[in-house]
Amino acid sequence: MANQTPIPVVVIGAAGKMGREVIKAVTQAADMNLVGAIDTTAEYQGQDAGELAGLSEPLEIPITNQLEPMLAFASQGKQLGVMVDFTHPSSVYDNVRSAIAYGLRPVVGTTGLSPEQIQDLAEFADKASTGCLIIPNFSIGMVLLQQAAVAASQHFDHVEIIELHHNQKADAPSGTAIQTAQMLADIGKTYNQSLVEETEKLPGARGSQAEEGVRIHSVRLPGLIAHQEVIFGAAGQIYTLRHDTSDRACYMPGVLLAIRKVLQLKSLVYGLEKIL
């Protein structure tokens, strides 16, 4: 590894909560080289990405909102480049299309892409024979929770998901909750058959209904980071799976793994569990 050219990495959303963590993690990885830090926040334009991320030394990489020139620059070396996206549901689709068009491999943490957008990006990546990773949750704990939930779903017919996040989150339900519900639906059974005719006296009281009857409830409060419960019920018993994050550093081993793995792919892959 020591003799290999480091992987050029562009971080988009670099001034955000996740972007700053990614800047730190990429800078500390011996096989990666941070080449660009993109963010639209007006007040951070021109600031050093390392100082903003809390590193002791400046990186001499200023935050800029100029994505396309940065992608062009990052695609010029002989080593394939990676764009890591932690931005906003409204911009991630266009960012990924641009990265692929410039020959960079996208690693996407941003949630809120619709199934149609993901399908479209998969076709775009296929045509370009380009790896692309969309990972709704980079923490190993969540992969293990989801595996346990799929195992439990063989034995329980009733399940509801509660996801709890900080109140600066733009999308609901969380990408992780949507993915978890999809995994439960994929085993091919319908959950939560109602025994009575239910009436919602306040709209949304019973949460949202994902495929195959899986219900998702979203909580947004200051003081939270990211948490998820999957609650199974049956006669006389409740089985609860819960994952809590206390620091966004928990996502970084997954992000670094994804940066390395995306270079080996030729198509779009969805979910951390597929690259472990």
Ligand X SMILES: O=C(O)C1=N[C@H](C(=O)O)C[C@H](O)C1
| Options 27, 137, 153, 218; binder of ligand X; rule CB under 6 A | 137
**Residue labelled with tokens 């620091």:** 247
**Binding range to ligand NDP, per CB under 6 A, among 107-115, 116-124, 193-201, 231-239:** 107-115
180 is an interface residue for ligand X by CB under 6 A:
no
Residues 129-168 binding ligand NDP (CB under 6 A) are: 135-138
Question: Which residue of the set 24, 78, 127, 169 is catalytic?
Answer: 169
Least separation in angstroms between residue 135's CB and ligand NDP is 5
109 is in an annotated binding site: yes
Query: Could you give the angle at which helices 17-28 and 252-262 cross, rounded to 10 degrees?
Result: 70
How many residues touch ligand X (CB under 6 A)?
9
Pick one of ligand X, ligand NDP, none as the site partner of residue 12 (Cβ within 5 to 8 A by kind): ligand NDP
* Residue 88 annotated in active site: no
Pick one of ligand X, ligand NDP, none as the site partner of residue 41 (Cβ within 5 to 8 A by kind): ligand NDP
Q: Are 212 and 191 in contact (CB under 8 A)?
A: yes
DSSP letters of 122-144?
A: HHHHHHTT--EEE-S---HHHHH
Between 35 and 272, name the residue whose CB sits nearer to ligand X: 272
CA distance 106 to 95: 9
Helix (H, G, I), strand (E, B) or coil at 94: helix
204 is in an annotated binding site: no
Q: Dihedrals φ, ψ of 66, to 5°?
A: -90, 85
Q: E-strand spans in the chain?
A: 7-12, 32-38, 63-64, 82-85, 105-108, 132-134, 158-165, 208-209, 215-220, 226-234, 237-245, 268-270
Residues 6+ apart with CB under 8 A from 119: none
Between 97 and 169, name the residue whose CB sits nearer to ligand NDP: 169
Helix (H, G, I), strand (E, B) or coil at 256: helix
| Options 111, 153, 180, 182; binder of ligand X; rule CB under 6 A | 111
93 is an interface residue for ligand NDP by CB under 6 A:
no
The amino acid at residue 176 is T
Pick one of ligand X, ligand NDP, none as the site partner of residue 162 (Cβ within 5 to 8 A by kind): none
Q: Are 57 and 50 in contact (CB under 8 A)?
A: yes
Pick one of ligand NDP, ligand X, none as the site partner of residue 86 (Cβ within 5 to 8 A by kind): ligand NDP
Quote the tokens at residue 21. 């963590």
* Residue 155 annotated in active site: no
User: What number of other Cβ atoms are within 10 A of residue 69's Cβ?
Assistant: 11
Residues 204-263 binding ligand X (CB under 6 A) are: 226
199 is in an annotated binding site: no
Pick one of ligand X, ligand NDP, none as the site partner of residue 87 (Cβ within 5 to 8 A by kind): ligand NDP
How many residues touch ligand NDP (CB under 6 A)?
25
Q: Are 115 and 87 in contact (CB under 8 A)?
A: no
Residue 200 C-alpha from the chain's centroid: 32
What does the binding site for ligand NDP look like in residue numbers (CB under 6 A)?
Answer: 12-13, 15-19, 38-41, 86-88, 91, 109-112, 135-138, 169, 251
List residues with catalytic annotation.
165, 169
Binding site for (S)-2,3,4,5-tetrahydrodipicolinate, by residue number, is 166, 175-176
Binding site for NAD(+), by residue number, is 13-18, 109-111
